[in-house]
């Protein structure tokens, strides 16, 4: 396998993970106008919870779903108990979510210690498999497929269901949506829980590749931010495109300019800000 091919596969995998992470972030930001700075913590917390569930003997996929649900429950509590009280108060929302992310990070450090924890690749997906005459690492292929499936499901949810229509209405014009009889505040909770679940789930299935360690949250959060700034808030297609752009830049940047990989990542974001501040697929400026 040549280097470029490996890099491309890794980029697509990272892009898939980032999509799961940022789709929720983008919807929360687009619908609720809340910059959810705990989103990286949801990712990390999901992964940590899964390590404990796996140690109790749960299967990988069960652990991934259950960790996601636990994270979603926490997200729901945060939304109901705290963010609900701060409508429109951006500064307060930034502070609360940031404060919560510090607290979550510290609790994780206390419970799971500072050592990185590896999550084993699930049985049956280890090794490599051949396709079209090329050999792919099976698990990375699986992640890409899962991300694609979720992209399709989320698109169908948003574009084809009544709930999706209500969410889109809420993103475009919350006041009118309210007037039209849509229970926007219930939508908020649903979207927040869904976003948290996706982030937690992504943390678990990313575990075998990234492993879990303190600081993972603050590493993932800026990536989600970049994706959303690139793609435009509240746009699923924007998240998808943005995620793969960031996935490719990160992996290729790391191979070509190892010291500047992190900076290379932000360059397209800067470009988009200058040329098109609402993001590639966003409708309104941030």
Partner 1 sequence: MKTFALAIAVVILAVLPLWVGGTYYINVASQILLYAIFALGVNVLVGYAGLVTLGHAGLFGIAAYTAARMLSRDHGHVAAIAGALALTLLAAVIFAALSLRGTGLGFVMITVALGQIVWGIAYRWISITNGDNGISIAGRPSPLGVSLASPAAFYWATLTLFLLAVASMVIFVASPFGTSVRGTRDQPRRMNALGYHVWLTRFLAFLFSAFWSGVAGLLFLYYNQFVSPQMVALTASAEVLLMVISGGTGTLLGPIVGAALVVIMKNVASAYIERWNFVLGAIFVAIVIFMPEGLVPGTARLARWLRTAQRPAAPTPVAAPAPGSERGR
Q: Does 98 bind partner 1 (CB under 8 A)?
A: yes
98 or 141: whose CB is closer to partner 1?
98
Q: How far apart are CA 155 and CA 153, in angstroms?
A: 5
Phi, psi (rounded to 5 degrees) for 212: -115, 135
Applying CB under 8 A, does 255 fall inside the site for partner 1?
Answer: no
Least separation in angstroms between residue 120's CB and partner 1 is 29
What is the per-residue DSSP string for 7-35? HHHHHHHHHHHHHHHHHHHHHHHHHH---
| Residue range at the interface with partner 1 (CB under 8 A); choices 3-11, 122-130, 163-171, 261-269 | 261-269
- Enumerate long-range contacts of 59-67, CB under 8 Å, 24 or more apart: 59/122, 60/119, 60/120, 60/122, 60/123, 61/122, 63/204, 64/201, 64/204, 64/205, 65/201, 67/200, 67/201, 67/203, 67/204
Among the residue ranges 95-103, 139-147, 154-162, 243-251, the one whose residues contact partner 1 (CB under 8 A)? 95-103
Query: Does position 229 bind partner 1 by CB under 8 A?
Result: yes
Residue 131 as a binder of partner 1 (CB under 8 A): the answer is: no
Give contact residues for partner 1 (rule: CB under 8 A). Answer: 29, 33, 35, 37, 82, 85-86, 88-92, 94-96, 98-103, 105-107, 109-110, 218, 221-222, 225-226, 228-229, 258-263, 265-266, 269-270, 273-274, 277, 285-286
């Amino acid at each position: 396998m040549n280097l470029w091919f490996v890099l491309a596969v890794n980029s697509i995998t990272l892009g898939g993970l980032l999509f799961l992470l940022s789709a929720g972030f983008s919807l929360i930001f687009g619908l609720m106008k809340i910059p959810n700075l705990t989103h990286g913590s949801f990712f990390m917390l999901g992964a940590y919870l899964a390590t404990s569930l796996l140690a109790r003997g749960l299967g990988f996929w069960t652990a991934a779903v259950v960790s996601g649900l636990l994270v979603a429950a926490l997200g729901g509590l945060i939304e109901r108990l705290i963010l609900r009280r701060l409508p429109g108060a951006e500064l307060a929302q930034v502070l609360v979510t940031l404060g919560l992310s510090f607290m979550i990070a510290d609790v994780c450090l206390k419970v799971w210690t500072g050592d990185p924890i590896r999550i084993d690749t699930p049985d049956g997906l280890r090794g490599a498999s051949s396709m079209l005459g090329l050999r792919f690492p099976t698990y990375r292929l699986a992640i890409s497929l899962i991300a694609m499936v979720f992209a399709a499901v989320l698109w169908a949810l948003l574009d084809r269901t009544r709930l999706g229509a209500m969410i889109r209405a809420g993103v475009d014009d919350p006041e009118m949506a309210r007037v039209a009889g849509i229970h926007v505040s219930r939508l908020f909770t649903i979207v927040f829980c869904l976003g948290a679940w996706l982030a937690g789930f992504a943390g678990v299935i990313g575990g075998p590749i990234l492993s879990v360690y303190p600081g993972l949250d603050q590493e993932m959060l800026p990536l989600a931010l970049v994706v959303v700034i690139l793609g435009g808030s509240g746009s699923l297609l924007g998240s998808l495109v943005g995620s793969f752009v960031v996935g490719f830049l990160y992996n290729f940047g790391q191979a070509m300019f190892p010291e500047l990989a992190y900076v290379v990542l932000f360059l397209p974001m800067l470009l988009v800000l200058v040329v098109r501040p609402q993001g590639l697929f966003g409708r309104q400026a941030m």
